[in-house]
Amino acid sequence: MQTLPGIGATVARKLGGLGVRSVRDLLEYRPFRYEPAAPTRPVAEVWLDGEEAVLDVEVRSVRARRVRRLTIVEAQVADATGTLTAVWFNQQWLVERLQPGTRLRLRGRVRKGQFQVKEQSIGARVELGGIAPVYPATEEITVKTLRRLVGAALPRAAVAGDPLPAAVRAAERLPRREDALVALHQPRNAEEGEEARRRLAFDELLRLQVGLARARRGREEARAEPLPASGELVARYVEALPFELTQHQHEAIAQIEEDLRKERPMQRLLQGDVGSGKTVVALYVLLRAVEAGRQGALMAPTETLAEQHFLTIEGLCAELGVRCVLLTSALKGKERAARRAELASGEAQIAVGTHALIQSDLAFHDLAVAVVDEQHRFGVEQRKALAEGRAPHVLHMTATPIPRTLALTLYGDLEVSEIARPPASRKPVVTSWITQERSSEAYTRLRRLLEEGRQAYVVCPLVEESATGQARAAESEAERLAAAELRGFRVGCVHGRLRPELRRDLMRRFKERELDVLVATTVIEVGVDVSNATVMIVQEADRFGLAQLHQLRGRVGRGAAQSYCLLVSRAKEELTDAARTRLEALVGTTDGFELAEVDLELRGEGQLLGTRQSGLSELRFTHWRLDRPLLERARELAPGLVDEPGPFGAYVDELFAGVSVEA
C-alpha cells in the first residue's frame, strides 16, 4: 500500500478502517453509485434549488464562522455574469487558500440560495463535470481522496491477472478482469460501470459456488448418529417455559427434528430478529442431545455473550436436572480442570463457552449437538477437534437477519430456518432521534421512567479506537452521569476490559434490580436479556452501523412493558447522508429484515456479510436482487469447476483457506 503515491502510514491506517489494506483491496473498492455528468454553467443561470452544476469563478472575499461545533466557510465568488455565495462545511483550511483573486472550478448544487460545494479545483483547471464514482467514505478518507488513490492503483490492475478460466470467459462473453476494473472506476457512462460490476460479481459468485460445491462433496462422507424421537425431558422443558412457543418457533423445531433423525449431520442456519426466541430453540436442540444420553455444546464468539447464554439457560437446566457448565479462557487452574473433567466423563451434559470449547486437548464424552453463534469462526481443524469421532449435528444461529434470497446465496450448503416475528406479547420499541443540544430532554424523560421502577442502558459512543480507551470513556461517562443527570440513581458500568467475574457480578446486579442504569460499550450488543430494562439511550448514534444499532435496541423490549430507544446524534448538518439514512430507518421500523435491506443498499452485500460466513472474503460486487440470474448461472457451472487447477483453483482455495463454510 505504502508504495502507491500519497499512501503513508497515517493514510494506510485510515484506509484500514474501510477494510482497504492492499492495492487489491483498493482496486476492488466498489463505488456504490456514479455522479452523473454536471453541466458547466455561468453563475447567472444557477439558481434552482437542488440543481447540480460546475462553475468557473474567481474569489472576491472569504470568511469562516462557527455554528455550534460546525465550521462554515463562505466565499463570495463571481464570473462575468454574476456573484453568489459558495459554502463549505468543516474545511477551515480553505480560508487561507481562497484568497481574493483565486481562480476556482467548483462542483456542487444550490441549497437555499447558496452554492454548497462538493468538490473544488483551486488554481489549475481540472475537469470536474464528468461521470464520477462515489465510494463509501468517512470524515477521514473522503470520496475525493479515494478517487485519487484508486486512480493511482489502476495501472496495477493487470498485475494479478484473470483467474477465470479462458474457456468460461469466452463462453460467457465476459471482458477481461483488468478491463472490468478500469471500467468500474472510470466508466464512460453508468451502463459501462454496471457491466463491469456484473463481470466482477460473476467472478465472486462462481468462486463461492465452487467452494460450496467442494464443501458439500466433502461432507457427503461424514456421518452422525441419528437421535431418537423427543421424549419426557423436552416435554418438561416446553411445559416449564413461561410463555407459549410461537408458530415460527414450532416450524423451526419441526425442521430441526427432521434433521436429527438422519445419519447426515445437521447443518442448519437459524436466523431471526432480535428478541424472536432463537435461544429457546437452541436449548431445545441441546436438550434433545441430553435426553438421548449424550452431550450438547453452545459456542459463542465472546466471553460476555457466552456468560449471558449461560445465565439464560442455566436456571432452566437446573430445574430440569441437567448439569450445565460454563467454559471460557477466563477459567484458570483447578476450576478449569474440574470443568474439563466433567465434560470428559459426561457428568456435564451441556457446555457453554467460547473457542475454549474447541481446543484440541479438550475431550467431550459424547458430543451429539453443537449450537454455534454465527460470528464464531469454526474452522475445519477446530470442527475435527470438537467432533472427536462421529460428526455432531450443528445448528448455526445468526442474530442479524438477512433477506432469504441472500441467505441462500451465502449459505448455499446450509438449510435455512427463520423466526421472522417476535412473540405477540412484546410491543415494538418506540424509537426517537434527537440531536446533542436536546440531550438534556432525554435524561429528564429517563429520570421519570426510572422513578417508576424501570431500568435503562446508556451506550457510550465509539470515541476511542482501542478497547482500553473505550473502557476509560465508558467509566468516565458513568461517573459523570452519576454525579449529574442521574444523581440519586444507582449507576453501573460494563465494558470488555472488566475481569470476567466482575462483569458477571455487574450483570447479575442489574438483572436483580440492584442497579438502575447500566452504562456500557457495545459489549451489550448481543445476548443481554433483562425484561425490566425498558429504556436505551445511544449517545452519538451516528457513529454506529445500522445492524449494530438494531442489535443494541434489541436489549430493550424484552418484556410486556412498553420500551423506548433514544438515538442522540451530532447536529444534522454535520452528518453524512448515510448516517442520516441509518437513523431515519431505525426510527421508521423495528423490522430487522426491512433494516437489513436498507443496510444492503447503504453498505453493499460484502461489507454486511463479509465476516458472517466464517471468515470468507467479502462479496464486494454482488447485488443480491439484481444478480439472481448470475447466481443461477454460477450454480450451473460450479460442479464442473470443482477440480479446476491453476489460477482459478488457487482463487477458490484463497477464499476458503483454513475455513469451513459449514459455519
Instruction: Name the more confident of 39 and 290.
Output: 290
Hey, what domains does the chain have and what are their CATH numbers? 9-32+153-218 (no CATH), 37-130 (2.40.50.140), 232-419 (3.40.50.300), 430-589 (3.40.50.300)
pLDDT at residue 377, as a whole number: 41
pLDDT at residue 506, as a whole number: 86
Q: Where are the beta strands (DSSP E) in 177-314?
A: 267-272, 295-299
Of 244-248, 301-305, 542-546, the poorest mean pLDDT is in 301-305
**How crowded is the C-beta side of 477, counted as CA atoms within 13 Å?**
25
Of 19-23, 80-84, 146-150, 411-415, the poorest mean pLDDT is in 411-415
Mean pLDDT of 227-232: 90
**Apex 535 CA angle, 543 and 570, nearest 5:** 25
Going by C-alpha positions, the residue among 256, 178, 232, 196 that lies closest to residue 30 is 196
Going by C-alpha positions, the residue among 580, 635, 619 that lies closest to residue 602 is 580
Asked whether residue 125 carries a pLDDT value surpassing 60, the answer given is no
Q: What is the pLDDT of residues 491-546, one digit of tens each?
A: 998 887 778 778 878 888 888 899 999 988 776 655 567 888 899 999 888 888 88
Using CB atoms within 10 A of its CB, is residue 538 exposed (0-12), middle (13-18) or buried (19+)? buried
CA distance 138 to 136: 7
Of 31-35, 139-143, 268-272, 311-315, the poorest mean pLDDT is in 139-143
CA distance 547 to 605: 13
Instruction: Name the more confident of 517 and 123.
Output: 517
Mean pLDDT of 91-101: 88
Counted residue by residue, the chain has a size of: 663
Mean pLDDT of 272-283: 82
CA torsion angle 245 248 252 253 (round to 10): 20
SS (H, E, C) 450-517: HHCCCEEEEECCCCCCCHHHHHHHHHHHHHHHHHCCCCCCCEEEECCCCCHHHHHHHHHHHHCCCCCE
**Per-residue confidence band for 80, with pLDDT thresholds at 50, 70 and 90:** very high
Asked whether residue 360 carries a pLDDT value surpassing 60, the answer given is no
**Entry pTM:** 0.60
Residue found by looking up cell 481522496 in the block: 145
Going by C-alpha positions, the residue among 433, 401, 430 that lies closest to residue 584 is 433
Asked whether residue 14 carries a pLDDT value surpassing 90, the answer given is no
SS (H, E, C) 624-648: CCCCHHHHHHHHHHHHHHCCCCHHH
Backbone angles phi, psi at 195, to 5 degrees: -65, -40
Of 167-176, 343-352, 449-458, 603-612, the poorest mean pLDDT is in 603-612
Residue found by looking up cell 477481461 in the block: 176
Note whether 297 and 616 are within 8 A (CB). Answer: no
Note whether 137 and 146 are within 8 A (CB). Answer: yes
Instruction: Name the more confident of 169 and 577.
Output: 169
How many helices, marked H, and strands, marked E, lie in the chain?
22, 20
Backbone angles phi, psi at 220, to 5 degrees: -60, -25
Residue found by looking up cell 430456518 in the block: 417
Mean pLDDT of 25-51: 83
| Helices 546-553, 592-609: crossing angle, 10 deg rounding | 130
